[in-house]
Amino acid sequence: MLDGLEVTIIGAMGAVLTNPRALGLTPGQLGGIGSCYVGGAVLGALVFGWLTDRFGRRRMFFITLACYLLGVTLSAFAWNAWSLGAFRLLTGIGIGGEYAAVNSAVDELMPARLRGRISLAVNGTYWLGAALGAGATILLLNPAILSVNLGWRLGFALGAILGSIVLTLRNFIPESPRWLVTHGHPKAAEVAMQHIETRAGGQGGQAKKLTLQPRESFGFSLILPILFQKYRSRTVLVFVLMAAQAFLYNALFFTYALMLTRFYHVSPGRAGLYLLPLAAGNFCGPVLLGPLFDTIGRRIMLTVTYGLSGLLLAGTGYLFLHGVFTATTQTCAWSAIFFVASAGASAAYLTASEVFPLEIRATAIAFFYAIGTAAGGVLAPLLFAHLIGSGSPRAICAGYIFAGVLMIIAALIAAWLGVDAEQKSLEDIAPPLSAVEP
């Protein structure tokens, strides 16, 4: 939710931040600030991912959120492009750390039969944050209500307020019993399980027994051979899924306000209004299609969602080139694309968190989030800001088609290397590294 809010706020503010009465940024500087945020997320994921596996999911919840709160609060007081870029970098570090901690905890605390739909729905709340940001910018960026140089600052303050509420809610999340037992805390794991079962109103079912030899941490000398030798095909799969969806989303959402204002002459204060249907489509996709990942299966649904969204995006680029769209119909086309693409993107995080052993789960999520986002997310805002700045519909069409081709390639990889993880326990998908052969 916080990530969705931040990406939307900076996207909707794009045109306002180029105003000389605000910060007077150029389109290139705006793209660079977007890349600072994404780069910070990459760094935060790598650092906090390893710390999450080492010190626990719950503890990192509070540290990463504190980092986010500091960065977003400082962003409200930025005075030029360099200061805003630095503060967005810090904000991104906190958000990147969140992905590893949250996704590993969700998978380890949910029943196998529901894990897919719940993981997709939780990741889909990104778009609730996006809707909140879009709705807020309609008021905050309206010069009749607030001055140009005040509204965008209050937009960042909104993130600080929401983050403070989330900080309070974090107190109700238990530590993962799986993490506790594999790190030598069986009594604490038993207490956590009893607490969960009591609140759930029943007892867990029978599961096969494992003998474990707990270890405090697993170094990269052990992690890298697991990723690149034992689970090589899964590594390729997750990297491609992450990179393709990161390129698509960061390309469009960091620059959508510039698209609307430059090509459809939408006023900067109304740009956020057009994001509301996009957010609705993106949120409804994972919620409505999520159950199919538990029934039809991961492999088939990944192939369908990535492939279909790629075809639709390429088609949208072609229609844009020929001047078919208005601001409204362009938004409707994006909404249809993202209804499908959002389910696939959320499933990429699900795949990264369930196909590797428990002891390196958060590290694996962080690793693939980092390299996938670096490959697709850092380049995309810079590239599309340049394409839009050129004013050439042909260049923008080529960018859309390129992003669509990446999604189609990811669909083919999913059909080939996908893991049929539906309805299976995490330990059956990837046995713990601390498991001892009977």
pLDDT in tens, 5-27: 887 777 677 777 777 777 877 77
Mean pLDDT of 131-137: 79
In contact, 342 and 124? CB cutoff 8 Å: yes
Please give the domain boundaries of the chain with CATH numbers for all domains: 2-189+217-436 (1.20.1250.20)
* Average pLDDT of the chain, as a whole number: 85
How would residue 423 be classed by pLDDT, with cut points 50, 70 and 90? very high
- Predicted local distance difference test score (pLDDT) of residue 206: 66
Q: Which are the contacts of 268, defined by CB distance < 8 A and separation ≥ 6?
A: 15, 16, 19, 141, 257, 261
Mean pLDDT lowest among 90-99, 303-312, 314-323, 383-392: 383-392
pLDDT surpasses 90 at 312? yes
pLDDT-derived band of residue 391, with 50, 70 and 90 as boundaries? confident
Does 371 have pLDDT greater than 90?
A: no
Task: Give pLDDT tens digits for 35-65.
Answer: 788 888 889 988 998 899 888 888 888 899 9
| Mean pLDDT along residues 330-344 | 92
Instruction: Give the whole-number percent of the chain exceeding pLDDT 90.
Output: 29
Residues whose CB falls within 8 Å of the CB of residue 278, separated by 6 or more in sequence, listed in order: 130, 256, 331, 334, 335, 338
Quote the pLDDT of residue 415.
97
How far lies 227's CA from each of 51, 223, 373, 389, 438, in Å?
A: 18, 6, 18, 40, 25
Between 100 and 306, name the one with better pLDDT. 306
Q: pLDDT category, 218, cuts 50, 70, 90? A: low
Rounded CA-CA distance 432/106 in Å is: 17
State the sign of the Cα–Cα–Cα–Cα dihedral 92, 93, 94, 100.
positive
Query: Residue 241's pLDDT band (boundaries 50, 70, 90)?
Result: very high
Please, which residues have CB within 8 angstroms of residue 24's CB and are 6 or more apart in sequence?
18
Query: Which pLDDT score is estimated for 272?
Result: 66
Per-residue pLDDT, 204: 60
- Residue 187's pLDDT is 93
In angstroms, the Cα distances linking 210 to 104, 179, 192 are 20, 14, 19
pLDDT at 231 over 90: yes
Going by DSSP bridges, is the β-strand pair 211-212/435-436 parallel, antiparallel, or unpaired? antiparallel
Q: pLDDT band for position 300 (50/70/90)? A: very high
Rounded mean pLDDT of 331-354? 92
275-295 and 2-12 helices, crossing angle to 10°: 150
- Position 234 scores a pLDDT of 96
The pLDDT score that the predictor gives to residue 217 is 64
206 half-sphere exposure, CB direction, 13 A CA radius: 1
Q: Residue 269's pLDDT band (boundaries 50, 70, 90)?
A: low
